[in-house]
Amino acid sequence: MADTVNEKQAFQSLLKKIRQIEIKSKKLSTDTFSGNYSSAFKGRGMSFKEVREYAAGDDVRFIDWNTSARFGHPFSKLFEEDRENTLMLLIDCSASNLIGTSHQTKQELITEISALVAFSAIKNNDKVGAIFFTDKIEKFIPPKKGKGHVLHIIAQMLTINPASKHTDIAAALQFLNQVVRNKAIVVLCSDFEDNDTYFKTLKAASYRHDCVGIQVYDAIEAELPKAGLIPFVDAESGELIWVDSANKDVQQNWKSSWQRDSLRISDTLKAARWDFIKFCTGDDYIKNLQSFFVNRIKRR
């Protein structure tokens, strides 16, 4: 009986979390944010809409000569953007994303960002799919439309129990290129706690897709607090180390090391023709994401 009660409470807690994320994401994905998404990620191209009589200012290259000859005066072809896109979320589920010292783990931040982008996508009638990965593919959700489908993806983000603790971004990208043949918007959310063997797969993905890399990190990873000896356990390897956070040299080396790693990640993605943005747990990711969209629109 106790197990049944606990299961019911766990299920109700899950529904509450999903509802909270849905409310927050739908509130944030306003017409303005949704419009920024639409402008930042163009459709797949132009498709023929109709023919109408030629009007002053029409591009002469689009005159329909067959129709014009038939009616004895010029007609123009009209085209419209083929707006429908597919958004693929690549979600890093490795153990290092469970870290969080600012009232939020990296995994929770990934979930909120992914939910916001996904709701913006379905507001534009795009399909949304997801690949959950560690150093293997943990789960693949094929792209579909609709709020219910996005809620299903969010539920998986909150409940997935990965079989592995480690990270292999290259394997996730290889799987993406196998299962998504047509051009898609690809958003990779990860802390990028991986080796440097994924450059070729990043580049291969960018030739086919419109790609954005989102790095999430925790404040303690970027800068040590002054708290004396601090035990750190590598979430993926289990290795325990003690760090003297009161030592100025240790603090500076820690900070410099993180900055080098972050710059290396940024340079690697940009060299592979990916857009790149990073978020810290506890920060206002909404403002930063909107700025990213606006800047992306200006560059296009």
Model pTM above 0.85: no
Task: List helix spans (H) across the chain.
Answer: 2-28, 31-40, 65-71, 106-123, 147-159, 169-179, 199-208, 219-222, 248-271, 285-299
pLDDT digits (tens, 9 = 90+) for 239-291: 888 887 778 888 898 899 989 999 999 999 999 999 999 999 988 788 888 88
SS3 46: strand
In a shared domain, residues 223 and 110: yes
Same-domain status, 163 and 62: no
Q: Give the pLDDT score at 78.
A: 67
Domain that holds residue 211: 83-299
pLDDT digits (tens, 9 = 90+) for 150-171: 989 998 998 899 999 999 999 9
Same domain, yes or no: 55 and 161? no
Residue 158 lies in a domain: yes
Residue 23 is assigned to a structural domain of this protein: no
CA distances from 159 to 15, 68, 198, 274 (A): 11, 61, 27, 29
163 and 123 in a single domain? The answer is: yes
- Domain match, 116 and 222 both: yes
CA 171/CA 74 separation, integer angstroms? 55
pLDDT at 79: 56
Q: Angle at CA 42, nearest 5°, toward 36 and 45?
A: 160
68 and 189 housed in the same domain? no
Q: Are residues 99 and 203 in the same domain?
A: yes
Boundary residue ending a domain (80, 103, 138): 80
Give per-residue pLDDT as tens, 34-56. 667 777 776 555 555 667 777 77
93 and 177 in a single domain? The answer is: yes
Q: Do 65 and 115 sit in the same domain of this protein?
A: no
* Domain count across the chain: 2
Query: Same domain for 66 and 130?
Result: no
Q: What is the pLDDT of residues 169-217, one digit of tens each?
A: 999 999 999 999 889 999 999 999 887 788 999 999 999 999 999 999 9
On whether both 64 and 125 belong to a single domain, the answer is no
Same domain, 57 and 140: no
CATH number at residue 286: 3.40.50.410
Asked if residues 111 and 21 have their Cβ atoms less than 8 Å apart, the reply is yes
Residue 97's closest CA among 218, 232, 195, 14? 218
Tracing tokens 């994320």 back to the chain, one arrives at 21
Q: Is residue 31 part of a domain?
A: no
Residue 38 falls inside a structural domain: no
